[in-house]
């Protein structure tokens, strides 16, 4: 990093500059306020280290000018005559730290190293946001993988038509968003978008929800009610989880799709509708139909244009883009960071709940994180044993003896569990003596505090 060191004490300049340059940084020195202000304009440093008392107006003037030029640039004030009021004022004006002389050069080198890592993360995240902007597609979708680009192309192609669309994909892959994108890009965009889950209601209620009813059509029908098909007239109806629709209802739905007309429950009046139908299924509906769990004629009626949404585990490279998008959506304007090791762990995880699970994880991590801080892997999915391996890989490499000791402890615990805590049987299973087992249990903290010594 390029560092502006504004300091008039030559001893501090020499030793601190040497320490910073040894750490790989470039140091620009200014011995007075005027030179420091000129260097701010000319050098555009990444970090400013400035003494408060030096010839000219002093470090406070350097701080103010630095903040005017770049609010994100870290400024550290150094002083041998500090007061609490002065420190508070410095922080109010935008300083990130306030260091009392004499100080250890190593502490300032470490501080600058932290600024460097934060800047690297910010640059990486900005690059990610740039990729995100180029990867956004219809319906607020995000993805740069070949699988998602194929989905985007299909949405753009079929949206302007009135063709019936069947969206296939696992739970949490974003099927309703595809339906909304199709509607928003269609000629019906000014009309209503009406969604209903066929799995959420029993058969008797589902029919009334879809087709509506007249007053007195059944016990609780105290007034007439329009159904979802009627409400979707001149727009789009989205039938989610159509694979869960009862077979008897499928017959009635088939007629509506063929003729675009229906009757409310309790009415003999036929109503015509002008709608676009989009359906979604979480299973392979063709196999469902072959197994007799779904009407084949209805399947062919709704499977005019298929769109298959890939699971998140099959979308190589999309996880960082999605995380950046979700941080922008849920971060309330704050730029949260995710380090490279954590991101790598997120990419390794199979995400059985797909994009919905990832979004929930990001929201939870933001809620548990300090404002505009770094999202921790443990906060993204805490206490989930499926993440244990990813978290270990993402962390720093530990000494081999620590890893082996931890593995030995887990193995002994497992053996004790299998034998019901019987020491002799456990020793036999592990192929060691009872005395050695006791010693290892002692070393691993697996003994009660008042346990008698068996190694004597």
pLDDT of residue 398: 59
Q: Give the CA dihedral 245, 246, 249, 253, nearest 10 degrees.
A: 30
Q: Give me the percent of the chain exceeding a pLDDT of 70.
A: 88
Question: Which CA distances in Å does 440 have to 7, 414, 451?
Answer: 58, 14, 14
Per-residue pLDDT tens for 426-437? 888 888 888 888
Q: Is the pLDDT of residue 350 over 90?
A: no
Instruction: Give the DSSP per-residue string, 115-150.
Output: HHHHHHHHHHHHHHHHHHHHHEEGGGEE--SHHHHH
Instruction: Tell me the pLDDT band of 317, cut-offs 50, 70 and 90.
Output: confident
Q: Can you tell me the distance from the alpha carbon of 200 to that of 244, in angstroms, rounded to the nearest whole number?
A: 9
Of residues 90 and 257, which shows the higher confidence score?
257
Q: Poorest-confidence range of 74-83, 167-176, 183-192, 206-215?
A: 74-83
pLDDT of residue 118: 76
Average pLDDT (331-360) is 86
pLDDT of residue 348: 84
Of residues 131 and 85, which shows the higher confidence score?
85
Per-residue pLDDT tens for 179-218? 999 998 899 999 999 999 998 888 778 888 899 888 877 7
Please say whether the structural domain 313-394 has been given the CATH code 1.10.8.60: yes
Secondary structure of residue 213 in the 3-state scheme: strand
pTM assigned to the model:
0.58
CATH architecture of 146-308: 3-Layer(aba) Sandwich (3.40)
Q: Is the pLDDT of residue 456 over 80?
A: no
Residue 413 in tokens? 């615990």
Q: Poorest-confidence range of 138-142, 248-252, 284-288, 322-326?
A: 138-142
Average pLDDT (4-25) is 89
Average pLDDT (87-103) is 80
Q: Is the pLDDT of residue 390 over 60?
A: no
Beta bridge partners of 99: 78
- Enumerate the CATH 1.10.10 domain ranges in the chain, comma separated: 400-443
Average pLDDT along the chain? 84
pLDDT of residue 408: 82
pLDDT of residue 135: 42
- Enumerate the CATH 3.40.50.2300 domain ranges in the chain, comma separated: 2-103
Q: Can you tell me the distance from the alpha carbon of 304 to that of 256, in angstroms, rounded to the nearest whole number?
A: 16
Of residues 323 and 402, which shows the higher confidence score?
323
- Enumerate the CATH 3.40.50.300 domain ranges in the chain, comma separated: 146-308
Please say whether the structural domain 400-443 has been given the CATH code 1.10.10: yes
Average pLDDT (40-46) is 89
- Enumerate the CATH 1.10.8.60 domain ranges in the chain, comma separated: 313-394
Instruction: Tell me the pLDDT band of 164, cut-offs 50, 70 and 90.
Output: very high
Averaging pLDDT over each range in 130-139, 329-338, 389-398, 444-453, which range is the top one? 329-338
Q: Poorest-confidence range of 79-83, 91-95, 249-253?
A: 79-83
Of residues 134 and 402, which shows the higher confidence score?
402
Instruction: Tell me the pLDDT band of 106, cut-offs 50, 70 and 90.
Output: confident
Q: Poorest-confidence range of 102-116, 307-321, 395-409?
A: 395-409
Contacts of 449 (CB under 8 A, 6+ apart): none
Q: Is the pLDDT of residue 354 over 70?
A: yes
Instruction: Give the DSSP per-residue string, 216-233.
Output: TSSTT--S-EE-HHHHTT
pLDDT of residue 93: 81
pLDDT of residue 397: 55
Main-chain dihedrals φ then ψ at residue 27, nearest 5 degrees: -115, 130
Of residues 340 and 359, which shows the higher confidence score?
359
Q: Give me the percent of the chain exceeding a pLDDT of 90.
A: 27
Q: Poorest-confidence range of 13-17, 142-146, 207-211?
A: 142-146
Please say whether the structural domain 2-103 has been given the CATH code 3.40.50.2300: yes
Averaging pLDDT over each range in 42-56, 213-227, 274-288, which range is the top one? 274-288
Per-residue pLDDT tens for 110-136? 888 888 877 776 676 666 555 445 444
């Amino acid at each position: 990093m390029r560092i502006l060191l504004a300091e008039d004490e030559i001893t501090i300049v020499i030793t601190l500059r040497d320490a910073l340059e040894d750490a790989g940084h470039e140091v620009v020195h200014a011995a007075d306020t005027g030179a420091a202000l000129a260097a701010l304009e000319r050098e555009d440093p990444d970090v400013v280290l400035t003494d408060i008392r030096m010839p000219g107006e002093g470090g406070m003037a350097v701080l103010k000018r630095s903040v005017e030029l770049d609010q994100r640039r870290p400024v550290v004030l150094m002083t041998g005559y500090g007061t609490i009021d002065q420190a508070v004022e410095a922080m109010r004006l935008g300083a990130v730290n306030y260091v009392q002389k004499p100080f250890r050069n190593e502490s300032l080198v470490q501080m600058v190293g932290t600024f460097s890592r934060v800047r690297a993360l910010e640059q990486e995240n900005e690059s990610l946001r740039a990729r995100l902007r180029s990867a956004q597609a219809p319906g607020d979708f995000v993805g740069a993988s070949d699988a998602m680009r194929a989905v985007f192309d299909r949405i753009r192609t079929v949206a302007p038509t009135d063709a019936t669309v069947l969206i296939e994909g696992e739970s949490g892959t974003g099927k309703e968003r595809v339906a909304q994108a199709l509607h928003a890009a269609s000629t019906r965009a000014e009309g209503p978008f009406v969604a209903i889950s066929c799995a959420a209601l029993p058969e008797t209620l589902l029919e009334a929800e879809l087709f509506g009813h007249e007053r007195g059509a059944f016990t609780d029908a105290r007034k007439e009610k329009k159904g979802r098909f009627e409400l979707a007239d001149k727009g789009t109806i989205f039938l989610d989880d159509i694979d869960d629709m009862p077979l008897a209802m499928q017959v009635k739905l088939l007629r509506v799709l063929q003729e675009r007309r229906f009757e409310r429950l309790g009415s003999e009046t036929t109503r015509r509708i002008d709608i676009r139908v989009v359906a979604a299924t979480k299973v392979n509906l063709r196999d469902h139909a072959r197994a007799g769990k779904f009407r084949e004629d209805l399947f062919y009626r709704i499977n005019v244009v298929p769109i298959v949404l890939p699971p998140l585990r099959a979308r190589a490279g999309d996880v960082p883009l999605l995380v950046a998008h979700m941080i922008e959506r849920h971060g309330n304007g704050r730029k949260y960071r995710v380090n490279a090791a954590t991101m790598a762990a997120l990419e390794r995880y199979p995400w059985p709940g797909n994009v919905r699970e990832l979004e929930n994880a990001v929201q939870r991590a933001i809620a548990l994180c300090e404002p505009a801080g770094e999202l921790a892997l443990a906060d993204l999915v805490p206490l989930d044993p499926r993440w244990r391996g990813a978290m270990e890989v993402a962390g720093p490499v530990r000494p081999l003896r620590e890893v082996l000791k931890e593995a030995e402890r887990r193995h002994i615990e497992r053996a004790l569990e299998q034998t019901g805590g019987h020491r002799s049987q456990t020793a036999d299973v592990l192929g060691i003596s009872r005395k050695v087992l006791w010693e290892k249990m002692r070393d691993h903290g697996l003994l009660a505090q008042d346990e008698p010594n068996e190694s004597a």
